Amino acid sequence: MSKMVEFRWHGRGGQGAKTASLALADAAFLAGKFVQGFPEYGPERMGAPINAYNRIGDERSSIHSNIYEPDYVVVVDETLLTAIDVTAGLSEKGAIIINSDKDPQRLVPALKGYKGKVCVIDARKISEETMGRYFPNTPMLAAAVKVSGVIPEDVFLKNIETSLKHMFAKKPNVIEGNMNAIKRSMQEVKTL
């Protein structure tokens, strides 16, 4: 049986963690993978913590539950490191990917003894410089693909552009900024 790769996204309402997980599912689907992408939230409001999930593999998954032992955790909001246990169940063979302008080493004390790879990307800086506003989900999506290798980079770039063209059919002017953010993020993600 082929390996299934599982992601858990932590963000706050309005930051686009759900949208990023669905975009990852879409790009992986276009690459011929079997995918799941879904959020978990209750009566949330803007700014409240939310989770989203992805399962990506070469075979159909019969599992339909939240992900409790992910290979990768994507933290869209650094303040969640002290608010919740983002490393719960995280495989030490995987990685945690954090939106931060800090060096990865400085974040280790907040990770409750996690011994796997710690990666950071300054999603604020990248999104503001490439898209003109703070949209952390686009850089975080690119960093997740780069760190995990779940989809070859060239395939991801082609597929995510297709997905963005569909997603922003009525706003084609935002596609270039998103693509620039994605390409730059794939180059700038730092790993400890």
Q: Are strands 95-99 and 190-191 parallel, antiparallel or unpaired?
A: unpaired
DSSP H or E stretch at residue 80: helix 80-83
Kindly report the length of the chain: 192
- Quick one: average pLDDT of 153-161? 96
Q: What percent of the chain has pLDDT over 70?
A: 97
Q: Are 32 and 17 in contact (CB under 8 A)?
A: no
Rounded to an integer, the average pLDDT of 8-25 is 94
Q: Which two tokens stand for residue 149?
A: 């290798």
pLDDT at 63: 87
- In the predicted model, is pLDDT for residue 41 greater than 80? no
Confidence of residue 192 (pLDDT cuts 50, 70, 90): confident
Q: pTM (2 decimals)?
A: 0.94
Q: Which of 166, 156, 123 is nearest to 9 (CA)?
A: 123
Q: What region, left, alpha or beta, does residue 89 occupy, with left being phi > 0 and alpha being psi -120 to 50 degrees?
A: left
Model confidence at 44, in pLDDT bands (50, 70, 90)? low
What pLDDT, on a 0 to 100 scale, did the predictor assign at position 43? 63
Q: Could you tell me the CA-to-CA distances from 77 to 37, 100, 173 in Å, in that order?
A: 19, 8, 27
**Residues facing residue 119 across a β-bridge:** 97, 191
Q: In this predicted structure, which of 37-41, 74-78, 104-108 has the lowest mean pLDDT?
A: 37-41
- pLDDT band with cut points at 50, 70 and 90 for residue 141: very high
What is the per-residue pLDDT for 67? 95
Above pLDDT 90, what percent of the chain? Answer: 84
Mean pLDDT of the chain: 93
Q: Where are the alpha helices (DSSP H) in the chain?
A: 17-30, 80-83, 104-107, 123-131, 137-148, 153-167, 175-188
180 phi and psi angles, rounded to 5 deg: -65, -40
Whether the pLDDT of residue 165 is over 60: the answer is: yes
Comparing 154 with 39, the larger pLDDT belongs to 154
Distance CA 26, CA 59 (A): 16
